[in-house]
Structure 1
């Protein structure tokens, strides 16, 4: 009996020693703790934020501290990512169980091709993208104010525009782009259109005219300046082809001409008609077999005042009324638009702050899915003269997006493993996937 007691004591001491060793050398993660009176800490992860950022702000019922000090990772409640500055071999791993991730990415996938894929998106708890399905949608961010659609400040009559066409002062169509290599084949399509109708091209792409001197300085960073809007208003039509064809990805290319009474010639978001102010607000390239068919339609509309003003849907003394209920509701409820005093980053920060505070009050976190960033594969492009023809750089874009899908799958594996990895580890594994034909 004494021997059995001795053995039990020995076993108990051994177990106590083992527990002590585990506690000392394999420490459990220290959860981010706070009270209702202490701010949540949210950490911006991008390394490009080289300046010291540390700001505490009240966002409605919640209070948060926003910082870019990576040494604060363990005590942070959440990590914020900006899509255009993400690095595939730089994520905060291992990820603590209480760490929530939030993604802000208002751009198309041309710079970050792994973003559209669910394998990647599912690791984020909150998103802010152009998609209506994201948590903080930016779909109509490029329409500064609702009243801009009914503003007559830049509106020119059909007769005045017609005079400019008759005396050849201006072509019927305006093209103003300096980003010439796009997934949508923008330059390829406009080059074909130029064979059938006159187009004034002022940007670096297919340049054939110089901008007025007043606009030659930095117009790309002044997209809504009064001189530029007045210049756009003098044309009958303006080419508005996005650099990527993703659901709800709608930029100033669509809204600016609508604001000034010029008809947009649009290609891009497959869901664009969900957002047009009224039926027939624009001319859609996808409605025509090719550029020749579009040019014929432009000539008919451009020479007929009734047909032309049907698209504009407002007369000399009549403001345009937005009949689209979805657009009306979005304009009423949206939290951000271009030109607001608070930046998109500040608005995003407060949105995340409030939502992560709710989670800390026992609201379960959720995960994003592919609807939060819906872009087709292979990339869609404007229809060329030969139905089987593709833009000159289509294969490069297709290859890039295929590689993005591969990267998303690899990142999914790495995130699930939840271990830190180096650039060499990442590159080696991606190279291995490529060699196995998994990235074609």
Structure 2
């Protein structure tokens, strides 16, 4: 009798599981049908960067979405996609429809969009794709094309070979290649101070004291990883790698390119950079030195000592384990996008991956998430490389002022988004001016 009761109980449990499964499948089907009826598969790019007519059918792992930049389709669009680098404070699709999802793609520092780092602004987006590991589609390693690039020996030159090149071609051990000479990080100020203590070969438009070969002058900015450029840079022992802005996980080609070429980066930028280095001793970090003079002394020592120099190049010299950092290796193997050395293909791939990410989220999300400050984490006020006598960079006060205005912009946008009504550029500027003059944003 007890055995029969146990069987009845087992049958009852199986039936309950079956019924729950059927109910769940039905709910998903109904949800999906509702979403389709509501036009959820229409994605609209709300950006002026696309000056051409854009209308694509995107197939994304079982989902199909139509992606367009035709603003006439705003009513039927389920998701609105924004490209952060060219956001305009007066150009948002308001009033916002109740079920519309907003997605933000922003891979750059806040120098062009000073209101981006503030919670008041970010909280109005449901999904983000930024350099931050905390965003929904992180782009932390986007500037490192392939994991194998760190260990490749295509451009690598030995310590002895670099000594010979340095002597024969009369070049420095340190190279600097930048065109932007007004950065939030005070890059140009620090390099200028470093030049007082050690020779630096500076190419590009910033602090230039030597010219690139004619073949590289034409378009090196659009060919950041060209074989010719990497081969040219590989002659040097050190490369100054200072980001234009300081944000958590904001790591650009400034860091990855010298590692690829077999040069030791002299790095300043992301406070979390050590989470991503291929080995524990992969770069020389400016933060480790009290001033440029002490850094220069360290560069002279390492540049003259083969053992010390090679200790920074385990990603080239340790052929069994070019990447010893499991976090970096896992990120490179599992990231949901693939970059290429050709910038145009890379950019298209990034946009398409974001479209597919938003397509899937749009199709299945019942309760959208809300972005927060961790999705775009930048120290405020802006941090900069340490200068002697605790000086601040030449344009430090300008950047600080710009970010303060950005705080006002974020707070005003928050107010307007909550009011959920359209507004004009002149209205926005008038109200912003009042907030700044009355010091209402601190």
Contact 2:55 2:67 in 1 (8 A): yes
Residue 113 of structure 2 aligns to a residue whose secondary structure is: coil
Question: Deviation of residue 86 (structure 1)?
Answer: 1.1
Q: Distance in 1 between matches of 2:355 and 2:316?
A: 42
Matches within 5 A, 1:112-151: 112-151=113-152
Q: Which residue of 1 aligns with 2:422?
A: 420
- More off after superposition, 48-57 vs 119-128: 48-57
Residues 102-130 of structure 1: CA distance to partner in whole angstroms, max 9, x if unpaired?
A: 00000000000000000000000010000
Matches within 5 A, 1:39-438: 40-167=41-168, 169-313=170-314, 318=319, 320-339=321-340, 342-359=348-365, 363-387=366-390, 389-438=391-440
Contact 1:151 1:319 in 2 (8 A): no
For these two proteins, the number of residue pairs brought into alignment is: 405
> Is the alpha carbon distance of 1:411 and 1:246 closer, same or farther for their aligned partners in structure 2, counting shifts above 3 Å?
same
Q: Distance in 1 between matches of 2:204 and 2:37?
A: 53
Residues 71-93 of structure 1: CA distance to partner in whole angstroms, max 9, x if unpaired?
A: 11111101000001211011011
Q: Which residue of 1 aligns with 2:27?
A: none
Question: Deviation of residue 190 (structure 1)?
Answer: 0.4
Q: Which residue of 1 aligns with 2:29?
A: none
Residue 386 of structure 1 aligns to a residue whose secondary structure is: helix
Q: Distance in 1 between matches of 2:318 and 2:437?
A: 66
Contact 1:39 1:63 in 2 (8 A): no
Q: Which residue of 1 aligns with 2:22?
A: none
Question: Deviation of residue 38 (structure 1)?
Answer: 7.5
Q: Distance in 1 between matches of 2:320 and 2:338?
A: 22
Unaligned runs of 5+ in 1: 1-31
Question: Deviation of residue 62 (structure 1)?
Answer: 1.1
Q: Distance in 2 between matches of 1:322 and 1:316?
A: 11
Residue 264 of structure 1 aligns to a residue whose secondary structure is: strand
Contact 1:39 1:56 in 2 (8 A): no
Contact 1:113 1:405 in 2 (8 A): yes
Q: Which residue of 2 aligns with 1:19?
A: none
Contact 1:150 1:319 in 2 (8 A): no
| Larger fraction in helix | 2
Q: Distance in 2 between matches of 1:317 and 1:109?
A: 37
Question: Deviation of residue 317 (structure 1)?
Answer: 8.0
Q: Distance in 2 between matches of 1:55 and 1:372?
A: 28
Residues 213-250 of structure 1: CA distance to partner in whole angstroms, max 9, x if unpaired?
A: 22111100000100001011110000000000000000
Contact 1:154 1:261 in 2 (8 A): yes
Contact 2:278 2:315 in 1 (8 A): no
Residues 283-335 of structure 1: CA distance to partner in whole angstroms, max 9, x if unpaired?
A: 00000001000000000000000000000115668365211111011001112
Q: Distance in 2 between matches of 1:38 and 1:70?
A: 15
Question: Deviation of residue 34 (structure 1)?
Answer: 4.7
Q: Distance in 2 between matches of 1:149 and 1:184?
A: 26
Contact 2:40 2:362 in 1 (8 A): no
- The Cα RMSD (Å) is 1.7
Q: Distance in 1 between matches of 2:169 and 2:299?
A: 16
Contact 2:411 2:441 in 1 (8 A): no
Q: Distance in 2 between matches of 1:218 and 1:49?
A: 23
> Is the alpha carbon distance of 1:319 and 1:163 closer, same or farther for their aligned partners in structure 2, counting shifts above 3 Å?
farther
> Is the alpha carbon distance of 1:39 and 1:426 closer, same or farther for their aligned partners in structure 2, counting shifts above 3 Å?
closer
Q: Distance in 1 between matches of 2:378 and 2:194?
A: 26
Contact 1:46 1:85 in 2 (8 A): yes
State which structure, 1 or 2, has the greater radius of gyration over its C-alpha atoms. Answer: 1
Q: Distance in 1 between matches of 2:419 and 2:75?
A: 19
Contact 1:33 1:75 in 2 (8 A): no
Residue 64 of structure 2 aligns to a residue whose secondary structure is: strand
> Is the alpha carbon distance of 1:315 and 1:120 closer, same or farther for their aligned partners in structure 2, counting shifts above 3 Å?
closer
Q: Distance in 1 between matches of 2:268 and 2:186?
A: 10
Q: Distance in 2 between matches of 1:323 and 1:278?
A: 5
Question: Deviation of residue 35 (structure 1)?
Answer: 2.9
Q: Distance in 2 between matches of 1:118 and 1:35?
A: 32
Q: Distance in 1 between matches of 2:38 and 2:439?
A: 54
- More off after superposition, 37-46 vs 397-406: 37-46
> Is the alpha carbon distance of 1:108 and 1:427 closer, same or farther for their aligned partners in structure 2, counting shifts above 3 Å?
same
